[in-house]
Amino acid sequence: MATTTRRTERRTDALSRARIVEAAIEILDADGESALTFRALAARLATGSGAIYWHVANKSELLAAATDDVVARALGGAASEADPEQEVRTLALRIFDAIDAHPWVGSQLAREPLQLAMQQILEAIGQRLESFGTPDRALFDAASALTNYIVGVAGQNAANARLHVHDEGRTAFLEQVATRWTDLDAEQHPFLSKVAPQLADHDDREQFLAGVDLILAGIRTPH
């Protein structure tokens, strides 16, 4: 026959878990966490909201799946470098950048327990740490510490992104916090008032990496 339509090739608009998760990610990226509703998702997929429940148990599972997807993509094909410490650094930056591009992943990571996405990160970090020559117990603690740090920053970044969608207002916000800190009573808040000028011109990515380096230095330290 001339027009062969293979059975395995369904219509493009056929519903599937993968297509649902993909659409969810698009909505989350475009309009943020609050925009992801089953109604919006159903509309985008040109179906009824109930249809989604055939492929996905509920919203929390959908969010977890979307997060797993993004994290897997960020971690995928992580090129191995000569220096294992450098590997941890680039790995951490990959996750940072992924969360920067998809802020909702940050909130999700911060509120999910030992779910797939967290496991992926922990495994990736742990693998790179193996060659440090740390004893097993300390190694688990070290990998956990790094993962928790990364997830913590992720949550804060997501919160920032939620506050001023799409960068404009970000510097305005930082300046506002900076003046708030400057105006604080130096007696009661010596640290914040001293550090206020640094806030305006600091780079989130650099500060994130500085924290990673701090923890790495700690891991290197004997005992």
Partner DNA sequence: ACCTGAACACCGTTCAAGT
Q: Least distance in Å: CB of 35 to a second copy?
A: 17
Q: Which residue has the tokens 């109604």?
A: 39
> Which string of x and - marks every residue 189-218 that binds DNA (by CB under 7 A)?
------------------------------
Asked whether 126 and 139 are in contact (CB, 8 A), the reply is yes
Three-state DSSP at 213 gives: helix
165 φ, ψ to 5°?
-55, 125
Contact present, 99 and 154 (Cβ < 8 Å)? yes
Please state the length of the chain: 223
In whole angstroms, the minimum distance from the beta carbon of 50 to DNA comes to 1
Cβ closest to a second copy, residue 16 vs residue 172: 172
d(CA 223, CA 214): 16
For the bound state, the minimum distance from the C-beta of residue 153 to a second copy, rounded and expressed in Å, comes to 5
**Smallest distance from a second copy to CB 42, Å:** 24
The contact mask relative to DNA for 40-79 (x = CB under 7 A, - = no) is: x-----xxxxxx-xxx--xxx-------------------
Q: How far apart are CA 132 and CA 58, in angstroms?
A: 41
Task: Tell me which residues touch a second copy (CB under 8 A).
Answer: 107, 110-114, 118-119, 122-123, 126-127, 129-130, 136-145, 147-156, 158-160, 162-163, 173, 177, 181, 189-192, 194-195, 198, 202, 207, 210-211, 213-221
Q: What is the spatial distance between Cα 73 and Cα 58, in angstroms, rounded to a whole number?
A: 23
The entry of a second copy, DNA, none near residue 58 (CB within 5 to 8 angstroms by kind) is: DNA
Separation of alpha carbons 43 and 184, rounded Å? 49
Binding site for DNA (CB under 7 A): 14-15, 36-40, 46-51, 53-55, 58-60
